[in-house]
Amino acid sequence: MTTYLELKAQAEKLLAQAEDLRRKEVDDTIADIKAKIQAYDLTAKDLGLASGATGQRGPRSRAASTPVATIKYRGPNGETWSGGRGRRPKWVMDALASGKKLEDFAAK
């Protein structure tokens, strides 16, 4: 019967072999791509890799399409808050608990 440690050693050996094979295949693929780029005289723009290249772009990330909230309040240590939905930041809660008004922190 095979032990756990023997199986673990076999698995590690297989993982190392797989990684070596992956590296070799990646190197071969890169060499093949470079040869084809040279043979067909392709540029980064032809491949859609150049800055400002025309062509179809991928979907925008949510962060790129979400507008940035305007800063309405600024804390004593430079913290900012838009006054939007959700919980108030800790610095706002602490300031209100100490008797200050929200208007005291209005950004100018």
Residue 52: its pLDDT value, please? 58
Residue 77: its pLDDT value, please? 87
Q: Is the pTM of this model over 0.85?
A: no
**What would the CATH number be for the domain defined by 63-105?**
4.10.430.10
CA-CA distance, 78 to 4, in Å (whole number)?
56
Average pLDDT of the chain?
87
Residue-wise pLDDT for 51-90, tens only, equals 754 555 556 666 666 777 788 998 888 888 888 888 889 9
Does residue 106 or residue 54 have the better pLDDT?
106
What are the strands, taking DSSP E only, across the chain?
73-74, 80-81
Residue-wise pLDDT for 46-60, tens only, equals 998 877 545 555 566
* Domains of the chain by residue range: 1-46, 63-105
CA-CA distance, 78 to 33, in Å (whole number)?
51
